[in-house]
Amino acid sequence: MKFYFPDSQDQIDPSFNFITEERSIYRVRQRDDHYAHEALCSAPFDGILVSKAIVDGLPGATGKYTVAQRQRFYRAGVQKFFRLDRTDGTPIDTLGDCGAFTYVRDDVPPYTVDEVIDFYDGAGFNLGISIDHVVLGYDINADQDPAHPLRREWQRRQDLTIELAAEFRSRARTRKVHFQPIGVAHGWSPSSYASAVQALQRIGYTRIALGGMVPLKTRDILTCLQAVRAVRRPRTQLHLLGITRCENVEAFAAAGVTSFDSTSPFRQSFKDDTDNYYALNRTYTALRVPQVDANPKLKARIRAGQVPQAEAIRLEQHCLTSLRGYAQGTTSIDTVLQALGEYDQLCDGRKDRTAAYRDTLENQPWKTCACGLCRELSIEIAVFRGAERNKRRGFHNLHVFRQRLDRELEGTAA
């Protein structure tokens, strides 16, 4: 089962100095910064997913790429842009999609079929997903209720997605594209997902992505897959868009799922309240030392005269010094916890994280990790502070997630 990592221009600067928190004045982001597959000892994913909406933006709104990055992306192609040839020799796939959640509130997708094909074929993708429109809801009762208030809109979006998939495949064949087209199935219930898969199979698709499942509970996803399994042809391969559930790999594989994509392991490093650092069998809470000049709440309190700026800076630096001393064996864990607790209280004071911090500090999981980044950064990788530390921890999480996935897949094969 292949794992694809969605691109959002997440890179790290190898010139970043964690003591001075300064960068090289000669740094050029696209040239010098590293992607996850370059920063880690081995690529943590089988492929990269790139959305047209991220690269090109939407009508009236820019994407996450600068003009210079967009020009280079189209000039060099997706393979060279991401430097996918600089790996350990294992091929890394490239999968394109439209980024349907960015235009989910629109009545219709903002792109034409030919515009999307131009994006995929022009950049040299291996695989390309047809234009889709997300169904905004899930309710199995809608199948039996013709008066359901949202059923008509859900049906319209599903029908439109299938119509666009038919046009997409037809145009791809006419234009003799170099990528493999993938159809998208959207639904609001197990039977509606199964119906969409049947329609796409009739069109001729042998690879189908199941979309709109991110908000669903695991049991609902599995129920939908059971319904799809009943109609799936033996040659049809399924892709789960935005789904990460390692513990369900066996059930996914049995239903015909051969690939999935997700940013969850990466984003948990700086979005989750507690599960920020992955270990093979558990997670740890990162040690929060926010920057005084980059913490909106703390800055507001300083401006209001509630907190002396000099005191905030003193506590911030005391935390960093204590953490580094602990890593070197010169500072006690209690001294570190007291420093972190005082700074936590100054920043928000809403939650006592002492027990979680003690757990992280006592176990020091970075000492036994072989991702490469942990050996290089030591305790810095467990510090919740700024993009350079947080993204490195996110890359580490991808490495561990890959290990977890491989472990589950080995169990499935056995």
Q: Domain holding 159: CATH number?
A: 3.20.20.105
Q: Are residues 224 and 304 in the same domain?
A: no
The Cα–Cα gap between 278 and 289 comes to: 19
Give yes or no: residues 296 and 233 share one domain: no
Same domain, 239 and 348: no
* pLDDT score of 333: 98
pLDDT digits (tens, 9 = 90+) for 145-154: 988 999 999 9
pLDDT confidence band for 413 (50 / 70 / 90): low
Same domain for 301 and 238, yes or no, is no
CA 53 distance to own-chain centroid? 15
Positions annotated as catalytic residues are 97, 261
Same domain for 175 and 76, yes or no, is: yes
Give a yes or no: residue 160 inside a domain.
yes
User: What is the span of the domain harbouring residue 358?
Assistant: 285-397
What backbone torsions phi and psi does residue 175 show, to the nearest 5 degrees? -85, -5
The reply to whether 272 falls in a domain is no
Q: Is residue 271 part of a domain?
A: no
Query: In terms of domains, do 251 and 299 share one?
Result: no
pLDDT tens digits, residue range 354-404? 999 999 999 999 999 999 999 999 999 999 999 999 999 999 999 999 999
Q: Tell me how far apart the alpha carbons of residues 355 and 336 are, in angstroms, rounded to a whole number.
A: 12
Rounded-to-integer distance, Cα 202 and Cα 200, Å: 5
348 and 205 assigned to the same domain: no
Beta pairing partners, 238: 208, 257
* Neighbouring residues of 343: CB distance < 8 A, sequence distance ≥ 6: 289, 315, 316, 318, 319
| Same domain? 103 vs 196 | yes
Supply φ then ψ for residue 9, to 5 degrees. 55, 50
Residue 166 domain flag = yes
Task: Say which residue the tokens 């072989």 belong to.
Answer: 370
Q: 240 with 358, same domain?
A: no
Specify the number of domains making up the chain: 2
> Do 164 and 300 belong together in one domain?
no
Question: Is residue 309 located within the same domain as residue 201?
Answer: no
In a domain, 405, yes or no: no
Residue 15 lies in a domain: no
Same domain, 120 and 255: yes
Q: Mind listing the pLDDT tens digit for each residue in 155-170?
A: 999 999 999 999 999 9
Decide if 26 is inside a domain: no
